Every structure is written in C-alpha cells, then in structure tokens.
Structure 1
Amino acid sequence: MTRRTTRHPDLTDPRIGASLFSTWRVGTPERQQEAVEAIGRTWERRAWPASGLLGYHVYTGEDGETLLHYSQWASEQAFEAFAKTHRQERVDEIDTVVPGIERVALHRYRHYRSGAREDAGAVPGCVVIVDVEFDGPDAARQRAWVDAVLEALESDPRPHPGGISAHFHLGTDGTRVLNYAEWESARAHADALAAPGSGVGSATAAWERVQRWPGLRSSTVRRYEHALGLVPPDRARTGR
C-alpha cells in the first residue's frame, strides 16, 4: 500500500527521468489542510499506482491559498500511463471532499544541476520555488542561465546564512527553469531577500548578469512548507 513519509524528497535521485510540478489554488489555510488530508487518505487507501512513480510530495504555500505538488517519475511515459488509468479517480475523490479546487498549472521538467553548502545535513524548514520564464524555447539558454546562477552562488563573497541547497530543473518546453531551493526557515530566506543585493545574492557583477540575462521574461519567488510525502512501501521501509 501507499505509505506516508515525513522525509523531504531527494531531488538528485538518478532514477528520476521526469519531475512534474503543479499548483492548486484552494483559497484558505483551512482548505489547504483539508486538501492535504484528502490527498493523503485518497492515496493511502489505494495500492501504489505505478513502479515508475518514485515519490509524490505536497507543500502548503505561505500565501495560505495554494498547494504545490512535486512528483518524481522514471519517465514522462510512466506519468502518461498513470494519467490514463489512475489519476481521475483520485481527483474525483479529492474534489468530493474539497470542492472548487482550481488546478492552475502543470509543468514538466528534468533535473539539471544542484548545489549545496558543505554542511547540508540540516532539515529544511522552508522550500523556496523560483520559477523563471524566458521569451522562447532555447535549451542552450536554459543551461547557460543555470550555470551562471551557480557561478554567482559559488563566488558570492557574503552568502546569506540559512540556505541549504538549490536544485535546478529545465522545463521540457525549453522556456522555463525551476529552482527548488531548501532553506532552514522562511525567516532566513526573507532576511536574505531583505538584505542589499539582487534577490538572495550580494551586489556582485555575477548576480547582476543573472538578473539581466537576455530574454528573461519573468521570475517569481514563492515559499512553501512540506506537508505530505507519499512513497511506495519499499521506500518507506528503507527511509529513502
């Protein structure tokens, strides 16, 4: 059967061939919690649906009205098979408990690169999603921008305390980049944003280059808290 876990996902698991991120808008903090519990119950009463699904995690938005969903798949084909045979019954059951959910967007990504501080044993208290969109598809530009961000992070003379890791994903449509960043707390991230400089970085030429990248259309930053992890029974036993 499907099992719950409190462990945060391993975004660098080499078995992941497709990373799917989606957003639901539910309206209030109370409905956030109701939806999380409905998802948990709906999945737990069913067998794990596919060997190609490695893990499914849900996060509550700091805004009090959204949920972030992150699922780890061996391939996009494995997700397509699940969507045809198992997805709708789960959606229908959740909607019966929490009617009126707005399913805002679903985007497909592949993990590209990650960076972490040396003492990265801390348990994340906050997940920050940086969603970047460019003005057209360009796989080389996606990779070059991520490389520049990691260069800016590694060369930052005064990195802000509290950052744990950054996991960069490239949208399969060629237009998007998503950074799943782990922080010790929401306060640590908020303090980093409030400090002088560009975003969480210091006022350096490397960070300015990232911010002024040609074709960069938009960049949004949202904070979340890990609320629910669902994994197959074998992963629950091993603690992975």
Structure 2
Amino acid sequence: MSTPLSPLPVIGRDDCGIAVLGRWVTAGPDDQRSVADACLAAWAEVPWPEGLLAVNCFVSTNGDTVLTYEQWSGEAELRAFDGAGDTAGREAVDRRIAAAADAERFEPFVCALHRSSVMDSRSVPTCVVITTFLFDEAETARAWSDAICHADAAQPEPTPGGISRHFLLSSDGTEVLNYSEWLDEESHRGFLENPVQTPEWRKVESFTGLTHGPGRRCLPYGGLTAPLAR
C-alpha cells in the first residue's frame, strides 16, 4: 500500500539512483484526465515494488500529454520490476493504464541525475517544464547541461520566476531530460520570449549536434510514495 505524496518530486534526493520518465499522448483533455487518473490508480493497486521511492504524475497544459516520473533506489530494483510479469510488474501497470482511454504510449526514458541549478530555493513552483534532447555525442550532452547551469549562475539577475533546472542523462549519455521548475506558466513563457543576452547564454545557443525532443509545460496531478517502514 502506497502513501499519498505532495505533488512535486524532490529531484535531487540522495537515495535515488535512477529515474524513469513515462509518456502518454492523448486526443484531448478528457482522455488526458482519464489516463492521469489511471496512472495513479494503477500504481496504487499493484504491490508496491521493492526499491521504488516515489511516482509523480503530470499533465501538460495543452491537454495532450500525461507524464509520470518514477524514482528508484537503483537499476537492479528497476530491472526486477520490469521483469516481474503481468500481475505485479510494469506490464500490469501499463495494462491498467491502457484500459482507461485511447492513448499512445512511448518507450520509458531511463535516466540518472547529472547536475542541477537552483535559482530560487524559497518560491513554490506551480509549473514544471519537461523536455528531452538527443545529442550526437555523450560529451556534448554533458557539456551542454553544464553550460546552462553555468549560464544560470553567471546571470546578473535571476530569471524572473525560474526556480530550478535538473539535467538527467540516459545510460549511454546521449539523451538528456531537462526538468525545470517555474513559478508559473507565464514565467517560462517570458523566458522563451525574452531570452537572456549574456556571453554564457550565447555559448549555450552555439551548441550543435543536438535534436530538440518533445517538451511540455506541465501541472502536477498527483503522486505516491513508498509505504513507511514499520
């Protein structure tokens, strides 16, 4: 039995060794809500897996995407769950979600935290932007992530409404999950429409060899955490 969780995960928690991003694309807001409800219900119904720390669910503000973010203690525990079969493993969770509404499921993205940039430790985010990127080389992926963190730190003034950015890398290092927290949607929109003009940000813009994957502004929908030890 799982325990209800506050809507946002702690990305940099020390006991998390690996994370999994799940993605479902739906026909519209009604199906989106059905899939999001099914995600939370599915995880609540299956036996809580050993090593799973928390699962959080997000819905995109444009109404077409549901994302889940799983945090695991390590890769061995994740592999055990993925191979547990159709009653207690990922197959059981996916089957419950698929029954809720017509949605396109994408292959889960397995990743681990590379580094983070915290711009505002006091404000509470209400919007999360989740984006993936594909790079030609793992070295470029790490350098690009590092350059953004450096650009944040070098700004004369913090980006209005920007709270944090977290960069997670795939096992081969060529894919990046950029998970960023914002005060609200308007803050992120303002950041894109009025880009910061500093040498550090111009260096970020100069990177080549990357492909921008799907990105969505999201709202937290709910979450579950591991049961308390007795």
Please give the TM-score of this superposition, normalised by the length of structure 1. Answer: 0.86
Match of 2:217 in 1: 223
Q: Give, as a single letter, the amino acid of the residue that structure 2 aligns with 1:127.
A: V
Q: Secondary structure in 2 aligned to 1:19?
A: strand
Aligned equivalent of 2:126: 125
Residue by residue, what CA displacement relative to the aligned partner does 1:19-64 show, whole Å, maximum 9, x if unpaired?
11121112211111111222222222343122x1111111001221
Residue segments in structure 2 that go unaligned for 5+ positions in a row = none
Report Cα offsets for 1:60-110 as digits up to 9, x if no partner. Answer: 012211111111111222111111111112222222232x22112321211
> Identity rate of aligned residues, in percent?
33
The match for 1:134 is 135
TM-aligned CA distance change 1:215 to 1:156, over 3 Å: same
Separation in structure 2 between the aligned mates of residue 5 and residue 218 of structure 1, nearest angstrom: 31
Written as runs of structure 1 = structure 2, the 5 A alignment for 1:4-43 is 4-43=4-43
Report the equivalent of 2:52.
53
Contact 2:134/2:176 (8 A) holds in 1: yes
Q: Residues 129 and 43 of structure 1: is their aligned pair in 2 closer, same or farther, counting only changes over 3 Å?
A: closer
Corresponding residue for residue 209 of structure 1: 203
Distance in 2 between the 1:23 and 1:203 partners?
33
Q: Tell me, yes or no, if the aligned pair for 2:7 and 2:220 is still in contact at 8 Å.
A: no
Deviates more, 1:154-163 or 1:61-70: 154-163
Q: Please say if 1:88 is aligned against 2:87.
A: no
Measure the CA separation in 1 of the matches of 2:157 and 2:123. 20
Whole-Å Cα distance in 1 between the matches of residues 96 and 131 of structure 2? Answer: 31
For 2:182, the aligned partner's letter is W
Structure 1 residues 26 and 221: CA distance shift in structure 2, 3 A:
closer
Whole-Å separation in 1 of the counterparts to 2:38 and 2:212: 33
Amino acid in structure 1 at the alignment position of 2:12 = T
Aligned to 1:161, what secondary structure does the other structure show? Answer: coil
CA 1:218/1:36 → structure 2, altered by over 3 Å: closer, same or farther? closer
* TM-align CA RMSD: 1.9
1:233 counterpart SS class: coil
Q: Do the aligned partners of 1:2 and 1:46 also contact (CA within 8 Å) in 2?
A: no
Opposite residue 42 of structure 1, the aligned amino acid is A
Q: Quick check: 1:115 aligned with 2:117?
A: yes
